[in-house]
Amino acid sequence: MDAAGGAFDAVATHFFLDCFARPQLDAVVAGLAGAATPDATWVISDFAVPPHGWARQRARAVHALMYAFFRVATRLPARRLTPPDALLAAQGFVLGGRRTFNHGLLQADWWQRRARA
């Protein structure tokens, strides 16, 4: 990432982070976090997998079809969804809110980094 450290008050990644396999996702999140200010906001909208039930099975089927198609059409490196939550937390972001849609298939997150005292 070539952004100046601490230059951005907000980061928005909409249907972007799900495109990366785990090693790449680590680097992308670290790079974006490094370009964010100590009290930055990060807004994410992306696909999700519900924790249980028919909605989980549905989401897994939808994701399998999506990843198979985009792997062929665009050579997408990711083969499955990797939730970025732990990576964001490791960069000092705290989940401020989460909304789910379409029976848990989609989610929107608001993360806030708290400046250290």
Domain range summary for the chain, segments of one domain joined by +: 8-113
Over residues 49-84, the pLDDT tens digits come to: 999 999 999 999 999 999 999 999 999 999 999 999
| pLDDT-based confidence at residue 5 (cuts at 50, 70, 90) | low
CB atoms within 10 A of CB 37: 15
Angle at the Cα of 93 from the Cα atoms of 82 and 18, rounded to 5 degrees: 20
Closest listed residue to residue 46, CA positions, set 109, 110, 112: 109
For all residues of the chain together, what is the average pLDDT?
93
What is d(CA 18, CA 9) in angstroms, rounded to the nearest whole number? 23
pLDDT at res. 114: 84
What is d(CA 7, CA 65) in angstroms, rounded to the nearest whole number? 38
Instruction: Write down the CATH number for the domain with range 8-113.
Output: 3.40.50.150
Binning the chain into helix, strand and coil, the percentages to the nearest 5 are: 40, 30, 30
